[in-house]
């Protein structure tokens, strides 16, 4: 493993943070970032670091302090503000106790913060407090876990690391682990690190660089030891499929997502839908296609710290036929039900009856491994699913390597169960207030235009994951970047799609299924216009408009219905119709006719799909000129003619249309988005309806 410490960068950290936070904490943050930047050391908030210093209190006294990573911070980008300062002397006194239960320990950690508003400190804070060293680094180093997670793991660690590193068996986190590590170092004060089997590595030093470099030194020793031992066996190929994994994943994902959707008990929104992150690189496929996959999938994660993300075991589904959606659903449902029975038995056997958890856990897998198709990893959001997927990829790699060296062995089931139901661990998952479209996927055509952007932002604000599609691929990047900057990575994705091309639409929906697992809300929004009197309208121009506005909508609805049916969860189709359906305009025959045709198709769809819980509604906007810096392509086409026919300048059109409606308001794309959110969130039992979003245009009143 490469040592990334750079004195010049360390000096930059001191210059950036030293004046406010002090040199020691600035260097601690710098070293922490080096650890967090390497996924072979920690993933997604894993690991923790600390340094010891002081705090000046209200009496102008220097009080010994422990600065430890706060809950919610990620070593990848942690700053000094991400560390919580605690009363070190008070925490060190806790070591005199014979035992300390979780509840009083948590109270002590929270009560002894110098700032009551600071984040809750790491669950391993007491370990950092009990050790005398100034700097402490902790990771879940992959190479170390590859050695420790074998039948003779502790012996292998000792052989790889020598007498300078203390080797401990797995010990439960919190007070027990803190006491065990502190006692071990009292017996061996010259040790440069502590390796805890099936958990991770702790290193320390009197300066940040020393603690970090010892970490790299020990991990490198593990890597060299692994490289020196030739595998005694390899994963045995046992499954071969001619169909590409991506094609299989697109077929499987929506069906699997439907099977994994949890019933909510709510009448209006009866399902809690999971979000997918799918992986199928060569390493993953070699694993799932192997004869050992089923056994290893059931063996458990590489560290109990991961169990809240991936459960104590994955679901392996062999020999899944994908030709028939219904057969696939039956097969997957049976496999998930069997998984639930096994999980219930695991909890019944291994959960300490005195242990309480902050949440009652469901019986569903988070990771499903399918030969030929890869790893399907799920969470409440794309962020959670991505965490599960990254952990899964690492787990499969470690399991495969350990298997090659002699065998893989995870922590004991009772340790996994204790960690999974540990209230301090479950607190990491959080329980935010639900939003109207939470855990749903919204696909929008014409998403790079003004109205599409407004709809996408409104849906993301409501908690949805947004699939923005458009024929103009370059414009998609701007929309996706804007949404992700506000609502977080993974909240939106862009897919180039031509709605007039059935193959392109099918491919776009397939990609949406691979990226998120499926689609819950379909918004046919793509549209173009052409200005010409009926007498002067060329057939090619009429066909061009009809191909986008009507045929494109038809393709979108048809493919959307196929995905919604595969999921079996109902869903919503919200068509961007137009004020022109009810109030057509002069020289706008092609546009008005295409929108009217689409409007009728939507009504018929509402009749046909209601029995399946699929609602189809329409919104009728008018005069949407722009959304922030994105101009309307439609008005760029028709605006000059409309302005000329009214004897006004182009930039006077928005004010003209504002004064034309009854409410005298400027209608914006976000208003259209709000209407989509209302309909898509099932706030009323409505289908086949039209909602004007036009400020009130009398001739366009639905009737």
- pLDDT per residue as tens digits for the range 642-699: 666 677 776 777 777 777 889 998 888 899 999 999 999 999 999 999 999 988 998 8
- Is the confidence at residue 293, as pLDDT, over 90? yes
Its pTM stands at 0.93
- pLDDT tens across 159-218, in order? 999 999 999 999 999 999 999 999 999 999 999 999 999 999 999 999 999 999 999 999
CB atoms within 10 A of CB 355: 13
In a domain, 259, yes or no: yes
- Is the confidence at residue 359, as pLDDT, over 60? no
Token pair, residue 549, equals 């506005």
In a domain, 568, yes or no: yes
Question: What pLDDT is stored for residue 577 in this prediction?
Answer: 94
Token pair, residue 101, equals 């239960």
Q: 259 and 197 share a domain?
A: no
What CATH number is associated with residue 299? 3.40.225
Question: What pLDDT is stored for residue 427 in this prediction?
Answer: 75
Q: 410 and 453 share a domain?
A: no
How does the average pLDDT of the chain come out, rounded?
A: 93
315 sits in which H/E element: strand 315-316
Asked if 421 and 415 count as a contact pair (C-beta separation under 8 A), the reply is: no
- The fraction of the chain above a pLDDT of 90, given in percent, is 82
- pLDDT tens across 100-159, in order? 999 999 999 999 999 999 999 999 999 999 999 999 999 999 999 999 999 999 999 999
CB atoms within 10 A of CB 8: 6
Q: Which residue among 429, 452, 468 closes a domain?
A: 429
Domain total in the chain: 3
**In which band, very low, low, confident or very high, does the pLDDT at 327 lie, cut at 50, 70 and 90?**
very high
589 sits in which H/E element: helix 589-609
Q: 211 and 254 share a domain?
A: no
Q: d(Cα 202, Cα 191) in Å, to the nearest integer?
A: 11
Average pLDDT over residues 612-636: 78
Question: What pLDDT is stored for residue 367 in this prediction?
Answer: 98
Q: Which residue among 170, 198, 228 closes a domain?
A: 228
Average pLDDT over residues 329-351: 96
Question: Which residue range is the domain that position 306 belongs to?
Answer: 245-429
In a domain, 700, yes or no: no
In a domain, 497, yes or no: yes
Q: Give 622's contacts (C-beta < 8 A, 6+ positions apart).
A: 578, 579, 657, 661, 667, 692, 693, 694, 695, 697, 700
- Is the confidence at residue 39, as pLDDT, over 70? yes
Q: d(Cα 672, Cα 695) in Å, to the nearest integer?
A: 11
Q: 487 and 603 share a domain?
A: yes
Asked if 217 and 323 count as a contact pair (C-beta separation under 8 A), the reply is: no
Taken in order 182, 184, 187, 191, the sign of the CA dihedral is negative
**Residue 572 class from Cβ within 10 Å (0-12 exposed, 13-18 middle, 19+ buried)?**
buried
**In which band, very low, low, confident or very high, does the pLDDT at 357 lie, cut at 50, 70 and 90?**
low
Token pair, residue 569, equals 């969860």
**In which band, very low, low, confident or very high, does the pLDDT at 627 lie, cut at 50, 70 and 90?**
low
Question: What pLDDT is stored for residue 177 in this prediction?
Answer: 97
Q: Which residue among 407, 429, 451 closes a domain?
A: 429
In a domain, 379, yes or no: yes
Q: 373 and 516 share a domain?
A: no
What CATH number is associated with residue 150? 3.40.225.10
- pLDDT tens across 397-406, in order? 999 999 999 8
Token pair, residue 514, equals 């691979």
Q: 43 and 178 share a domain?
A: yes
- pLDDT tens across 43-83, in order? 998 999 999 999 998 999 999 999 999 987 899 999 999 99
Token pair, residue 355, equals 């242990």
Asked if 329 and 259 count as a contact pair (C-beta separation under 8 A), the reply is: yes
Token pair, residue 403, equals 């298997």
In a domain, 640, yes or no: no
Question: What pLDDT is stored for residue 464 in this prediction?
Answer: 98
What CATH number is associated with residue 579? 3.40.50.720
In a domain, 641, yes or no: no
Q: d(Cα 479, Cα 173) in Å, to the nearest integer?
A: 44
Task: Give the Å distances, CA to CA, from 68 to 52, 73, 97, 134, 539.
Answer: 9, 10, 22, 11, 71
510 sits in which H/E element: helix 502-516
Question: What pLDDT is stored for residue 700 in this prediction?
Answer: 86
- Is the confidence at residue 356, as pLDDT, over 60? no
Residue 683 or 230, more confident: 683
Q: 290 and 383 share a domain?
A: yes
Average pLDDT over residues 445-463: 95
Token pair, residue 60, equals 């102008």
Average pLDDT over residues 240-258: 96
Q: 118 and 209 share a domain?
A: yes
Asked if 383 and 490 count as a contact pair (C-beta separation under 8 A), the reply is: yes
Q: Which of 16-25, 229-238, 478-487, 504-513 has the lowest mean pLDDT?
A: 229-238
Q: 191 and 337 share a domain?
A: no
**In which band, very low, low, confident or very high, does the pLDDT at 625 lie, cut at 50, 70 and 90?**
confident
- Is the confidence at residue 358, as pLDDT, over 70? no
Residue 35 or 633, more confident: 35
Average pLDDT over residues 303-318: 96
Q: 162 and 75 share a domain?
A: yes
**In which band, very low, low, confident or very high, does the pLDDT at 634 lie, cut at 50, 70 and 90?**
low
Q: 472 and 599 share a domain?
A: yes
Q: 382 and 455 share a domain?
A: no
Q: Give 410's contacts (C-beta < 8 A, 6+ positions apart).
A: 149, 198, 299, 300, 301, 302, 416
């Amino acid at each position: 493993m490469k040592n990334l410490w750079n004195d010049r960068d360390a000096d930059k950290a001191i210059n950036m943070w030293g004046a406010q936070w002090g040199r020691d904490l600035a260097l601690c943050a710098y070293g922490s970032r080096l650890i967090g930047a390497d996924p072979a050391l920690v993933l997604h908030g894993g690991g923790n670091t600390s340094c010891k210093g002081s705090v000046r209190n209200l009496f102008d006294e220097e009080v010994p302090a422990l600065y430890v990573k706060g809950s919610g911070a990620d070593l990848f980008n942690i700053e000094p503000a991400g560390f919580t300062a605690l009363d070190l002397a008070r925490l060190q006194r806790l070591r005199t106790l014979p035992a300390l239960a979780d509840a009083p320990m948590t109270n002590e950690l929270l009560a002894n913060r110098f700032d009551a508003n600071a984040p809750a400190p790491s669950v391993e804070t007491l370990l950092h407090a009990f050790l005398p060293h100034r700097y402490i680094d902790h990771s879940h180093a992959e190479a170390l876990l590859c050695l420790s997670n074998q039948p003779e793991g502790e012996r292998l660690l000792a052989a790889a690391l020598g007498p300078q590193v203390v080797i401990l068996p797995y010990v439960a986190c919190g007070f027990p682990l803190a006491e065990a590590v502190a006692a071990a170092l009292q017996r061996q004060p010259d040790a440069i690190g502590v390796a805890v089997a099936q958990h991770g590595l702790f290193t320390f030093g009197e300066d940040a660089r020393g603690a970090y470099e010892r970490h790299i030194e020990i991990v490198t020793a593990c890597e060299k030891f692994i490289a020196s031992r030739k595998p005694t066996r390899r994963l045995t190929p046992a499954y071969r499929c001619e169909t590409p994994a991506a094609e299989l994943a697109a077929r499987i994902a929506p069906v699997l997502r439907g099977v994994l959707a949890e019933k909510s008990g709510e009448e209006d929104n009866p399902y809690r839908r999971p979000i997918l992150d799918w992986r199928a690189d060569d390493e993953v496929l070699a694993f799932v296609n192997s004869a050992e996959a089923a056994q290893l999938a059931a063996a458990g994660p590489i560290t109990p710290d991961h169990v809240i993300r991936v459960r104590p075991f994955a679901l392996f589904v062999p020999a899944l036929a994908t030709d028939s959606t219904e057969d696939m659903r039956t097969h997957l449902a049976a496999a998930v039900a069997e998984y639930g029975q096994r999980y219930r038995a695991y909890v019944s056997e291994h959960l300490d009856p005195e242990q309480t958890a902050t949440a009652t856990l469901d019986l569903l897998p988070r990771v499903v491994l399918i030969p030929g198709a890869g790893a399907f990893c799920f969470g409440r959001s794309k962020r959670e699913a991505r965490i599960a997927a990254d952990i899964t990829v690492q787990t499969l790699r470690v399991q495969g390597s350990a298997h090659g060296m002699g065998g893989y062995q995870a922590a004991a089931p009772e340790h996994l169960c204790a960690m999974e139901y540990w209230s301090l661990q479950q607190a990491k998952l959080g329980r935010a207030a639900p939003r109207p479209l939470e855990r749903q996927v919204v696909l929008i055509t014409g998403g790079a235009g003004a109205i599409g952007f407004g709809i996408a932002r409104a849906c993301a604000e409501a908690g949805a994951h947004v699939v923005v599609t458009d024929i103009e691929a370059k414009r998609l990047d701007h929309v996706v970047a804007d949404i992700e900057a506000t609502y977080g990575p993974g909240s939106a994705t862009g897919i180039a799609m031509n709605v007039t091309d059935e193959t392109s639409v099918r491919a776009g929906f397939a990609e949406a299924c691979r990226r998120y697992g499926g689609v819950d809300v379909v918004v046919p929004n793509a549209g173009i216009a052409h200005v010409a009197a009926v007498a002067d309208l060329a057939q090619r121009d009429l066909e061009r408009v009809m191909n986008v506005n009507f045929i494109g909508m038809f393709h979108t609805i048809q493919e959307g219905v196929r995905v919604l049916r595969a999921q079996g969860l109902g869903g919503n189709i919200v068509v961007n119709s137009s004020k022109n359906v009810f109030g057509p305009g002069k020289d706008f025959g092609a546009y008005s006719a295409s929108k009217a045709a689409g409007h009728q198709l939507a009504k018929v769809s509402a009749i046909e799909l209601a029995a399946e819980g699929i609602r189809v509604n329409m919104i009728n906007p008018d005069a949407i000129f722009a959304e922030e810096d994105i101009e309307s392509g439609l008005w760029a086409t028709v605006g000059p003619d409309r302005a000329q026919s009214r004897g006004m300048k182009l930039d006077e059109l928005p004010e003209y249309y504002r004064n034309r409606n009854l409410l005298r308001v400027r209608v914006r794309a976000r208003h259209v988005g709000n209407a989509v959110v209302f309909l898509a969130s099932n706030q009323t039992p409505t289908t086949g309806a039209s909602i004007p979003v036009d400020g009130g245009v009398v001739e366009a009143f639905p009737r």
